[in-house]
A and B are shown apart, each in its own frame.
Chain A
Amino acid sequence: MEIFLSQLFIGLSVASILLLVALGLTFTFGQMNVINMAHGEFVMAGAYTTYVIQGALGASLVTLGFLVALPLAFLVGGALGVVLEWVLIRRLSGRPLDTLLATFGVALILQQVARDVFGASNVQVRAPAFLDGAITVAGVSMSYTRLFIIALVGVCLAAIWAHLGRSPAGRRMRAVMQNRDLAAASGVRTPRVDRRTFFIGSGLAGVAGVAVTLLGSVGPTLGTNYLIDAFLVVIVGGLGRLRGAVMAAVALGLFNAYVEYGTDASIAKAAAFALIVVFLQFRPQGLVVQRARGLT
């Protein structure tokens, strides 16, 4: 029972990060049909942002640095995303395959930049002091870092939910996602909405980057590992669906955690892939389906 609970906890914390990475992907895919292979590098950029700030502020201000890194990583990730959208993706609109290849190239460039600037070996980010330790509930020891990650993602999710559901800008985002042509014909400045979506999605990846520094060291290829899992979340959840992404992230995180406990990480990953292949045979449209029709 304790093992069940402790794996549940670990699975949820992994799911949280996955979700944060997947949200940006699911938005940009849902809205622009863009598969952004450089999205993982925004996670990496967020992680290095934390590292840089910590270095700049010194050892005495670790906690402050970490807290400052959260909004800053959002801005860094978001800015990278907007530049990518502006310079590249916008020009390749309607050519998903070319976009995929081009952004993959950008991903490699960003990785090399990180290697040149920070070195090929991994760097460590120190967790702030208030996250040291763990709380034991029902015999399960829950580390503060993982609790913090779950809470952070909860806050981000709530913010996104409120933004999409309540604000005019969020309404425009949903309108463009559901029917791009109709939105444009209704006066919505679609390029502006696209840029905003890219900013938010990429910014969330940056925030995820701060969160992953709590779980391990930071290296140039950090993002790649998360990108694949995040894609799985997007596909299983249903493209462009927030609710689907949440369910898929939790399912994938828990599945990994439990299978990994009985076996090892590689087998868990292989089993997850196999399961998803089978799943997509029966439900190729994902968990949550958007009922929408195009403007013919």
Chain B
Amino acid sequence: MKDDDSTPIPGGEMLRVEGLGSGYGSTQVLFDVSLGVPEGGLCCVMGRNGVGKTTLMSTIMGLIRARGGQVVLAGEDITRTEPYERVRAGIAYVPQGRDCFPQLTVMENLRVVAEACPHPEGGAIDEALELFPRVKELLSRPAGFLSGGQMQQLAIARALVARPRLLLLDEPTEGIQPSIILEIEEAIAQLKQSAGLSIVLVEQYVEFAMRLADTYVVMDGGRVVEAGDAGALEDGSLQEMLAV
């Protein structure tokens, strides 16, 4: 199994993470994590706080260096590349805590991305904004002054401006009011269906995750302890697994 993971699987596997290890300083957080996302698929990463979900996302993005294993994007090994090269390769990241550039305006937040990785056809900002009409009304405001929900929508819009093939979403519903969660869910579903985007979604809100997910992995102690198809999952069994 280890030998053929750098070759693209026919039918298209967008992301393959194989035996990934990673951590901070002398603390290893991830051990031998493997998962795959098919083209146009959504894989949900679940688990309690502190099991390494965000570390996994940061390592896939390249913000933390992998200590072992591989990250393969559409057949190309990107384990040793810099984060900004991964953006060009087609990964976009929406970090946990709806990060933004607080003193740039909303428009500037989007333009930084558009200018950093320009696409010949242009129009990336308009397309991203179409999905989030609320953000469109706030373009001249400093991003630091947005509400949590608005900031989260901006964060997703900003990631989309890079025109990714693979979107990493780290807890997009955390601390956000239910009405906005619905909007975000719709946007994600739309991205998946009409744009064919492949998505890795870290989420603790199980119902939300299961409505969107094709596959899931459950992490504990920096390892994947469960994986499977979201459809085959019985109600309640996940909650049990995730219960503290």
Q: Does B227 contact A (CB under 8 A)?
A: no
Q: Report yes or no: A187 in contact with B97, Cβ–Cβ below 8 A.
A: no
- A191 CA / B116 CA spacing, docked (Å): 13
What is the CA–CA distance of A292 and B100 in the complex, to the nearest angstrom?
Answer: 9
CB of A186 within 8 A of chain B? yes
**CA distance in complex: A179, B108 (Å):** 14
Q: Which residues of B, 155-176, contact A by the 8 Å Cβ criterion? A: 158-159, 162
Tell me if B87 counts as interface (CB < 8 A to partner A). yes
The residue in chain B whose Cβ has the minimal distance to the Cβ of A186 is B113
Is the C-beta of B112 less than 8 angstroms from some C-beta in chain A?
yes
Task: Tell me the smallest distance from the CB of A169 to a CB of chain B, in Å.
Answer: 9
Stretch at the interface among A48-56, A102-110, A170-178: A170-178
Contacts of B29 in A (CB 8 A): none
A187 CA to B88 CA, complexed, in Å: 7
> What are the residues of chain A within 8 A of B82 when measuring CB–CB?
184
Is B127 interfacial (CB 8 A cutoff)? no
- On whether A171 and B108 interact (CB within 8 A), knowing A179-B101, A182-B99, A187-B116, the answer reads yes
Q: With the chains together, A291 CA to B84 CA distance in Å?
A: 25
Cβ of A178 and Cβ of B104 under 8 Å apart? Answer: yes
From known contacts A291-B102, A292-B102, infer whether A172 and B63 are also in contact, taking CB-CB under 8 Å: no
B104, A171: Cβ atoms closer than 8 Å:
yes
Q: How far is the CA of A186 from the CA of B116 in the complex (A)?
A: 8
Which among B84, B96, B100, B103 is the interface contact of A174 at CB below 8 angstroms? B103
The one of B63, B97, B102, B104 in contact with A185, judged by C-beta atoms closer than 8 angstroms, is: B63
Assess whether B47 is interfacial by the CB under 8 Å rule.
no
Docked-complex contact B113 and A187, CB < 8 angstroms? yes
**Chain A residues with CB under 8 A of B111:** 168, 171
Q: How far is the CA of A296 from the CA of B29 in the complex (A)?
A: 14
| Cβ A184 vs Cβ B97 within 8 A | no
Interface size on B, residues (CB 8 A): 31
Complex CA gap A181/B111 in Å reads 17
User: What residues of A have a CB within 8 angstroms of the CB of B158 in the complex?
Assistant: 186
In B82-126, which residues have CB < 8 Å from any A CB?
82-84, 87-88, 92-93, 95-97, 99-104, 108, 111-113, 115-117
Chain A CB within 8 A of B6 CB? no
Interface assignment of A293: CB less than 8 Å from any CB of chain B: yes
A295 and B84 contacting across the interface, CB-CB below 8 Å: no
Question: A190 to B84, Cβ gap below 8 A?
Answer: yes
A247 close to B (CB within 8 Å) = no
| Residues of chain A within 8 A of B112, CB atoms compared | 171-172, 175, 183, 186, 188
* A290 interface contact, C-beta 8 A: yes
Check B116–A172 contact: CB distance below 8 A.
yes
Q: Within 8 Å CB of A185, what residues of B?
A: 61, 63, 83-84, 87, 92-93, 95
On chain A, the residues within 8 Å of B96 by CB distance are 296
Say yes or no: is B148 at the interface (Cβ < 8 Å to chain A). no
The residues of A that contact B54 with a CB separation of less than 8 Å are 296
Q: How many residues of A contact B (CB 8 A)?
A: 23
A residues less than 8 Å from B97 (CB atoms): 293, 295-296
Interface-centre pick from B63, B92, B108, B112 (highest chain A CB count, 10 A) = B112
Complexed CA–CA distance, A182 and B104 (Å) = 13
Interface core residue of A175, A290, A293, A295 (most chain B CB under 10 Å)? A175
Shortest B29–chain A CB gap in Å is 13
| B83: A residues at CB distance < 8 A | 181, 184-185
Residues from 254 to 286 in A contacting B, C-beta threshold 8 Å: none
- Chain A residues contacting B144 (CB-CB under 8 Å) are 291-292
| Chain A nearest CB, measured from B103 CB (Å) | 6
Q: B36-63: contact bitstring with A at CB < 8 Å (1 yes, 0 no)?
A: 0000000000000000001000000111
Task: Say yes or no: is A189 at the interface (Cβ < 8 Å to chain B).
Answer: yes
Cα–Cα, bound, A189→B117 (Å): 10
| Known contacts A171-B111, A182-B99; 9 further A-B pairs (Cβ under 8 A) | A171-B108, A174-B103, A174-B108, A184-B82, A185-B87, A186-B116, A188-B112, A188-B116, A292-B144
Pick the 9 closest A-B CB pairs, nearest first.
Answer: A187-B87, A187-B116, A187-B117, A184-B83, A168-B115, A185-B93, A188-B116, A178-B101, A175-B112
Taking Cβ atoms with an 8 Å cutoff, the residues of B that contact A are 54, 61-63, 82-84, 87-88, 92-93, 95-97, 99-104, 108, 111-113, 115-117, 144, 158-159, 162
Residues of A at the B interface (CB closer than 8 Å) are: 168, 171-172, 174-175, 178-179, 181-190, 290-293, 295-296
